Amino acid sequence: MTIDLHCTRREMLAKISAQSDAEGVTSFSAHGPVPGELFEMVAGAMRERFAALAPEVILHDLLRPLQKAIGNAHKRGNRQQPEKQIAIEVVATEQGVVIAVSDEGDGFDVQDACKLFRE
């Protein structure tokens, strides 16, 4: 698997054929300060949307990474400050899924973070 750090949101959506007027596109968003509640809300919608897939595939490919991203946003981005929000956006098509998790933190250098995994 390769991670393209230069791929824009628009390019990611194009790769999964997610034009806003396309048939079969599902999109939803959620936001709030409580990671567990956000995860359960989004996980329920994803289980429903991908009901045709095996539960272990949904868990491994979608829900575990989502849970990790939400946890990181809460712990590292928002520094567990309850007044700060976490936002999640999901766009799903038959070809794939784009999930964006954002927080109110200062951010980090993605290339530096990826170097840690290469060393």
Residue range 63-87, pLDDT digits in tens: 999 999 999 999 999 999 999 999 9
Question: In this structure, what token pair is assigned to residue 12?
Answer: 């990611």
Q: How many helices (H) and strands (E) does the chain have?
A: 5, 3
User: Cα–Cα distance between 115 and 119 in angstroms, integer?
Assistant: 6
pTM: 0.86
Q: Write out the H or E segment, with its range, that includes residue 26.
A: strand 26-32
Sorting pLDDT into bands at 50, 70 and 90, what band is 21? low
Residue range 77-116, pLDDT digits in tens: 999 999 999 999 999 998 889 999 999 999 888 888 888 8
* Residue 42 confidence (pLDDT) above 60: yes
Spell out the domains of the chain, with CATH numbers in brackets. 9-118 (3.30.565.10)
